[in-house]
Amino acid sequence: MTKAIDRFLNLFTMYRLTLYFLAALLALAAALSLSGSIPGGPLPIIWTTAVLLASCFLANAVLARIMRVRSNFESSLITALILALMMGPVPVELKQTTVLALAGAVAVASKYLLALRRQHVFNPAAVGALFSALVFGQNATWWVGNVTLLPLLVIGGLLLSRKIGRLRLVVSFLGLFIAFNLFLGLAQGVPVADALQSVLFVLGRTSLVFFATVMFTEPMTSPKRLRWQLLYGAIVAFLYQPQLSIFGRNLTPEEALMIGNLFSFIISPSFKLRLGLVEGRAIGAGVMSFTFPRPPRFSHEGGQYMEWTLPGGRRFFSIASSPTEPQLMIAARFSPTPSRYKRELARMKPGDSIMAGELGGDFVLPGNARLPIALIAGGIGITPFRSMIKYLLDVGEQRDVVLLCSASTEEEIVFRDVFDQAQHEISLRAIYTLTDTCRIRQGWCGQRGPIDREMLQREVPGLPARRFYVSGPPGFVTAMVKELRSVGVRRRNVRTDSFVGY
Q: What is the DSSP string of 426-486?
A: S--EEEEEES-GGGPPTT--SEES---HHHHHHH-TTGGGSEEEEEE-HHHHHHHHHHHHH
SS (H, E, C) 9-54: HCCCCHHHHHHHHHHHHHHHHHHHHCCCCCCCCHHHHHHHHHHHHH
pLDDT value for 354: 94
Condensed to tens digits (0 to 9), the pLDDT of residues 308-318 reads 988 767 788 99
User: Residue 500: is its pLDDT beyond 50?
Assistant: no
- pTM attached to this predicted model: 0.79
* Residue with more model confidence, 128 or 121: 128
Share of the chain above pLDDT 90, in %: 65
Phi, psi of 472, deg, nearest 5: 155, -165
* Residue with more model confidence, 432 or 337: 432
pLDDT value for 337: 85
Condensed to tens digits (0 to 9), the pLDDT of residues 218-228 reads 888 888 888 88
Among 473, 470, 469, which Cα is nearest to 500's? 473
Among 407, 480, 467, 465, which Cα is nearest to 440's? 407
User: Residue 128: is its pLDDT beyond 60?
Assistant: yes
Contact 124, 111 (CB under 8 A): yes
User: Residue 172: is its pLDDT beyond 90?
Assistant: yes
pLDDT value for 235: 96
Condensed to tens digits (0 to 9), the pLDDT of residues 443-494 reads 888 899 999 999 999 999 999 889 999 999 888 998 999 999 999 999 889 9
Of the listed ranges 281-295, 298-312, 369-383, the least confidently predicted one is 298-312
Confidence of residue 442 (pLDDT cuts 50, 70, 90): confident
CATH 3.40.50.80 maps onto the chain at 373-498
Contact 253, 216 (CB under 8 A): no
- State how far the Cα of 77 lies from the Cα of 91, in Å rounded to an integer: 21
* Residue with more model confidence, 103 or 204: 103
Beta strand residue intervals within 75-151, DSSP E = 115-116, 119-120
* Residue with more model confidence, 325 or 8: 325
Q: Is 59 helix (H, G, I), strand (E, B) or coil?
A: helix
The yes/no answer on whether domain 2-267 falls in CATH 1.10.1060 is no
* Residue with more model confidence, 12 or 436: 436
Confidence of residue 501 (pLDDT cuts 50, 70, 90): very low
Mean pLDDT calculated for residue range 154-178: 91
DSSP state of 308: E
Contact 150, 302 (CB under 8 A): no
- State how far the Cα of 257 lies from the Cα of 221, in Å rounded to an integer: 10
| Orientation angle between helical segments 73-87 and 124-136, nearest 10 degrees | 50
pLDDT value for 118: 65
Condensed to tens digits (0 to 9), the pLDDT of residues 363-389 reads 999 989 999 999 999 989 999 999 999
pLDDT value for 473: 86
CATH 1.10.3430 maps onto the chain at 2-267
Confidence of residue 502 (pLDDT cuts 50, 70, 90): very low
First-residue to last-residue Cα distance in the chain? 19
Among 49, 102, 59, which Cα is nearest to 80's? 49
217 - beta bridge partners? none
pLDDT value for 39: 85
The yes/no answer on whether domain 272-360 falls in CATH 3.40.50.300 is no
pLDDT value for 167: 87
pLDDT value for 152: 95
The yes/no answer on whether domain 373-498 falls in CATH 3.40.50.80 is yes
Condensed to tens digits (0 to 9), the pLDDT of residues 69-127 reads 766 788 899 999 999 999 989 998 999 999 999 999 999 999 888 877 667 889 999 99
What is each CA distance from 31 to 91, 142, 214, 297, in whole angstroms?
17, 18, 22, 54
Confidence of residue 261 (pLDDT cuts 50, 70, 90): very high
The overall average pLDDT reported for the chain is: 90
Burial of 368 per CB tally in 10 Å (0-12, 13-18, 19+): exposed
Contacts of 454 (CB under 8 A, 6+ apart): none
